[in-house]
């Protein structure tokens, strides 16, 4: 079997390894208004499991992936022209194990751990989220909002061009996003749309060039306020696109999958809170990631 086919199989594994880092979804109520001059520190633990079908024409006939993904996220809110804005910095760390089943060229378990690509997020409200002090915010009644965000993923993560599994992706990614939300009494309906635009990796598998088409996604959250310190949400995400090209050869690996899940947010004090969430893939195109994720988040604001 030719080397180009082996390279294609290696890329399939690489894509699965970095997918949990690149595709973390927004959570319910993430884009709702907050007071200005607020510092927010979040710590995430994600347990990611994937049993993804691989095209039988490839040297790899099956693969299972397990990842412990940790994310440290800092956000600072402020006002621009009377609208609420924020800047966020996210730093992932992942510990990944991949087991190869019935593979001809890769056998056993491969393991890697290290820092992921640093992300910077710029957020600005378009309407429905005025810039308010803490005192003003306490008297404000939440309303329908539309917020824009731009996420910049930098190629700073752990990457070795000769390694099968990498934590970093060695390329820039730009993700513009719109987040819409509207209240219905104690419930919120939120819809977020986004597109990931990928830069090139010119050191893929040694000296090859990796390119990728945009990946489009839409997600919805329907959440209910149980009391001042507790809410619950039903969540869903649909994504499509992202076919890759290696040295000018399209890989026929366009992604298409649907995930559903549920989450619950809580406050232990005015400064300390958290969230529990679970998502699972319910439909996917052959070769697309089939992933389930448990998430625990703790947060501190001041």
Q: What is the number of alpha carbons within 13 Å of residue 174 lying toward its C-beta? A: 4
> Could you count the other beta carbons within 10 Å of the beta carbon of residue 7?
17
Contact between 205 and 11 (Cβ < 8 Å): yes
Name the most confidently modeled range: 50-64, 90-104, 125-139, 157-171.
Answer: 125-139
Residues 276-296 have pLDDT tens digits of 999 999 988 876 778 899 999
- Please provide the average confidence, as pLDDT, over all residues in the chain: 85
Please report the pLDDT score of residue 202 as a whole number: 92
DSSP for residue 276 = E
26-35, 38-47, 123-132, 201-210: which has the minimum mean pLDDT?
A: 201-210
Residues 3-62 have pLDDT tens digits of 333 334 444 444 444 444 444 558 999 999 999 999 999 999 999 887 654 332 233 445
Nearest-angstrom CA–CA distance, 16 and 9:
11
| Domain range enclosing 118 | 3-301
> C-alpha distances in angstroms, 81 versus 5, 33, 131, 132, 178?
54, 15, 8, 12, 19
Residues 214-234 have pLDDT tens digits of 999 999 999 999 999 999 999
Nearest-angstrom CA–CA distance, 5 and 210:
15
Please report the pLDDT score of residue 59 as a whole number: 37
Residues 137-158 have pLDDT tens digits of 999 999 999 999 999 999 999 9
Structural domain count, the chain: 1
Tell me phi and psi for residue 76, to 5 degrees: -130, 125
Backbone dihedral region for residue 229 (phi beyond 0: left; psi -120 to 50: alpha; all else: beta)? alpha
> Could you count the other beta carbons within 10 Å of the beta carbon of residue 18?
22
Nearest-angstrom CA–CA distance, 250 and 286:
16
Enumerate the β-bridge partners of residue 297.
Answer: 44, 275
Query: Could you tell me the sign of the dihedral formed by the alpha carbons of 132, 133, 136, 141, in that order?
Result: positive
DSSP for residue 13 = H
Nearest-angstrom CA–CA distance, 41 and 148:
21
Tell me phi and psi for residue 196, to 5 degrees: -95, 125
Q: Summarize the confidence of residues 198-222 as an average pLDDT.
A: 91
Please report the pLDDT score of residue 129 as a whole number: 96
Q: Which class for 141: exposed (0-12), middle (13-18), buried (19 or more C-beta within 10 A)?
A: exposed
Rg (CA), the chain: 20
Q: Summarize the confidence of residues 106-127 as an average pLDDT.
A: 85
- Least Cα distance to 105 among 58, 157, 141, 138 occurs for 58
State both tokens at 151: 């996420």
Non-local (6+) Cβ contacts of 178 within 8 A are: 146, 147, 148, 149, 192, 193, 194
Residue 68 has pLDDT above 70, yes or no: yes
CATH number for the domain spanning 32: value is 2.40.128.130
- For Cα atoms 41, 96, 203, give the angle at the middle one, nearest 5 degrees: 95
């Amino acid at each position: 079997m030719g080397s180009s086919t082996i390279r294609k199989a290696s890329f399939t594994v690489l894509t699965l390894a970095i997918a949990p880092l690149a595709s973390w979804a927004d959570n319910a109520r993430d884009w709702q208004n907050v007071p200005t001059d607020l510092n927010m520190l979040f710590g995430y633990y994600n347990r990611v499991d994937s049993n993804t079908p691989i095209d039988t024409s490839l040297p790899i006939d099956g693969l299972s992936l397990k990842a412990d993904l940790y994310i440290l996220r800092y956000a600072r809110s402020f006002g621009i022209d009377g609208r609420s804005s924020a800047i966020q910095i996210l730093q992932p760390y992942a510990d990944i194990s991949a087991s190869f089943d019935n593979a001809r060229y890769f056998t056993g378990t491969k393991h890697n751990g290290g820092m992921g690509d640093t992300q910077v997020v710029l957020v600005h409200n378009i309407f429905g989220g005025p810039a308010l002090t803490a005192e003003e915010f306490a008297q404000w009644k939440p309303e329908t909002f539309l917020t824009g965000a731009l996420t910049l993923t930098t190629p700073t993560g752990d990457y070795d061009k000769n390694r099968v599994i990498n934590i970093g992706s060695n390329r820039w990614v730009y993700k513009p996003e719109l987040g819409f939300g509207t209240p219905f009494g104690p419930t919120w309906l939120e819809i977020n749309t986004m597109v990931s635009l990928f830069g090139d990796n010119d050191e893929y598998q040694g000296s090859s060039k990796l390119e990728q088409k945009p990946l489009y996604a839409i997600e919805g959250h329907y959440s209910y306020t149980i009391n001042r310190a507790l809410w619950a949400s039903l969540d869903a995400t649909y994504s499509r696109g992202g076919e890759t090209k290696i040295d000018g050869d399209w890989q026929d690996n366009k992604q298409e999958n649907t995930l559903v899940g549920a989450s619950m947010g809580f406050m232990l004090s005015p400064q300390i809170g958290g969230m529990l969430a679970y998502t699972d893939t319910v439909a996917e195109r052959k070769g697309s990631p089939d992933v389930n994720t448990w998430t625990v988040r703790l947060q501190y604001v001041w």
